[in-house]
Amino acid sequence: MKILVINCGSSSLKYQFIDIETETVLAKGLVERIGIDGRLKHTPAGKDAVVKEESIPDHNKAVSMVIEALTDPEHGVISDMKEIDAVGHRIVHGGEKFASSVVINDEVIAAIEECCDLAPLHNPANLIGIHACQELMPGTPMVAVFDTSFHQTMPEKAYTYGIPYEYYEKYKVRRYGFHGTSHRYVSGRVAAILGKPIEDLKIVVCHLGNGASVCAVKNGESVDTSMGLTPLEGLIMGTRSGDLDPAILQFIMNKENLDIDGMLNVLNKKSGILGVSNGISSDFREIENAYAAGDPAAKRANDAFVYRVVKYIGAYAAAMNGIDAVAFTAGLGENNAKIRKEICDYLGYLGLKVDDEKNNVRGKEVVFSTEDSKVAALLVPTDEEMMIARDTASLVK
């Protein structure tokens, strides 16, 4: 069975075409600048990428270009679009309606539409992707896989905010959490790598990318996570502030003469590593270089980022009454040994010890704690697309 995995944004569309029997990626690509001008980069497995620049006015055109690329006699990997057995769509927000992936039908689409309120930037774009695929591939089964659904197992005490309960009753204001597909994949791999049933493990997954979140996984279920109603809460991220005193908003708005949209723009796009480093970069590679050159702003950003992650791990050790494993994933978690080491060095109180040689890797699965470490430390490259393809295959079979 061959699955097309689609991650649709407002002006971009990422895709992977996966053979689920062998779990191999046959091709992947990215359509960018939809509605602006248009560019498709298509990479068949084992071959060079091909780039096509032409007008892409809407997502229908983007999807039709993806189908063309997949069936192209030269760069394609199938001869007919009928070989696309199913499509898996990444959907950002499933609210409380979806605790697992589902086959898409009219009812599901209506429910995703109802969640647009909770993710006004993402869900409408995800829906456009679904509609475009339905139009161009009528009759092909489709599945929705939600960033939020893994966290629906969180207990009430973890998802409840300290605000009047009527806001939950009226508007469903609560913690939802994101990166669920990644946290699910990585925690599953941790159990497999350690050779233990996931039902017996307490795992903290640190998804450290430009967007970053930590998740407490107990007995295979998410019991807490750092992102909230939106992805703005929690860790200090590339450009997002993460946690802060809510009264800061009014204070800065008054001083800087900002309205609430302007303030949220600052918190989403100008804060985090970028803001704390006084504008060096949102990319940790540049922070590292500046830090190595002795820049105190880079050190400040680095240290504040690490400290926030460490505080969350401590909180989740308390929430789960201990930790068996800490796993690192996403751009920074997979590629930055120094950050992994700095975080783990705070965790000596848990009995975690790093083997520096084993930690000196990037982008591959490894247990990098010492043999006698009481808590296992792991690097696990995430694979959200494979998870989406697996869910899609199992639901449409």
Shortest spacing between CB 207 and ligand AMP, in angstroms: 8
- Exactly one of 147, 324, 383, 391 is catalytic; which is it? 147
Shortest spacing between CB 238 and ligand AMP, in angstroms: 6
Using CA atoms, how far apart are residues 235 and 207, in angstroms rounded to an integer?
Answer: 10
φ, ψ dihedrals at 331, nearest 5°: -40, -55
Q: Which is nearer to ligand AMP, 150 or 159 (CB)?
A: 150
Q: Which is nearer to ligand AMP, 72 or 286 (CB)?
A: 286
Note whether 236 binds ligand AMP by CB under 6 A. no
Using CA atoms, how far apart are residues 225 and 248, in angstroms rounded to an integer?
Answer: 23
Note whether 361 binds ligand AMP by CB under 6 A. no
Note whether 335 binds ligand AMP by CB under 6 A. yes
Stretches 45-53, 102-110, 315-323, 326-334: which one binds ligand AMP (CB under 6 A)?
A: 326-334
- Single-letter amino acid, residue 342: E
Note whether 283 binds ligand AMP by CB under 6 A. yes
Residues 285-324 that bind ligand AMP (CB under 6 A): 285
Give DSSP secondary structure letters for 320-338. HTS-SEEEEEHHHHHH-HH
Stretches 95-103, 136-144, 280-288, 368-376: which one binds ligand AMP (CB under 6 A)?
A: 280-288
Q: Which is nearer to ligand AMP, 69 or 92 (CB)?
A: 92
| Count of chain residues binding ligand AMP (CB under 6 A) | 11
End-to-end CA distance of the chain: 9
Note whether 284 binds ligand AMP by CB under 6 A. yes
Stretches 82-90, 163-171, 260-268, 331-339: which one binds ligand AMP (CB under 6 A)?
A: 331-339
**Would residue 259 show up in a list of annotated catalytic residues for this protein?**
no
- For residue 61 the two structure tokens come to 């055109």
- Single-letter amino acid, residue 320: M
Q: Which is nearer to ligand AMP, 110 or 292 (CB)?
A: 292
Stretches 21-29, 217-225, 329-337, 384-392: which one binds ligand AMP (CB under 6 A)?
A: 329-337
Please report, for residues 207, 261, 379, the alpha-carbon distance to residue 24 in angstroms, rounded to integers and kept in the order given: 23, 43, 21
Q: Select the residue whose beta carbon is closest to ligand AMP and give its number.
A: 331
Q: Which residues contact 235 (CB under 8 A, 6 or more apart)?
A: 208, 212, 213, 214, 226, 242, 305, 308, 309, 312
φ, ψ dihedrals at 266, nearest 5°: -60, -45
Please report, for residues 51, 154, 356, the alpha-carbon distance to residue 91 in angstroms, rounded to integers and kept in the order given: 27, 19, 38
Note whether 210 binds ligand AMP by CB under 6 A. yes
Stretches 133-141, 244-252, 258-266, 279-287: which one binds ligand AMP (CB under 6 A)?
A: 279-287
Note whether 241 binds ligand AMP by CB under 6 A. no
Shortest spacing between CB 366 and ligand AMP, in angstroms: 16
Note whether 330 binds ligand AMP by CB under 6 A. yes
How long, in residues, is the chain?
397
- For residue 4 the two structure tokens come to 């097309």
Using CA atoms, how far apart are residues 78 and 390, in angstroms rounded to an integer?
Answer: 20
Pairing of strands 376-379, 325-329: parallel
Using CA atoms, how far apart are residues 297 and 230, in angstroms rounded to an integer?
Answer: 28
Note whether 209 binds ligand AMP by CB under 6 A. yes
Q: Which is nearer to ligand AMP, 1 or 361 (CB)?
A: 361
Note whether 331 binds ligand AMP by CB under 6 A. yes
Q: Which is nearer to ligand AMP, 47 or 285 (CB)?
A: 285
Provide the b/e sequence for 204-223 (b: ≥16 CB within 10 Å): bbbbbbbbbbbbbbbebbbb
Q: Which is nearer to ligand AMP, 14 or 33 (CB)?
A: 14
Shortest spacing between CB 189 and ligand AMP, in angstroms: 16
Q: Which is nearer to ligand AMP, 71 or 210 (CB)?
A: 210
Stretches 107-115, 193-201, 278-286, 300-308: which one binds ligand AMP (CB under 6 A)?
A: 278-286
Task: Kindly tell me the sign of the dihedral angle through the C-alpha atoms of 228, 229, 230, 233.
Answer: negative
Shortest spacing between CB 362 and ligand AMP, in angstroms: 7
Radius of gyration of the chain (CA): 21
Using CA atoms, how far apart are residues 136 and 64, in angstroms rounded to an integer?
Answer: 7
Q: Which residues contact ligand AMP by CB under 6 A?
A: 209-210, 238, 283-285, 330-332, 335-336
Residues known to be catalytic: 147
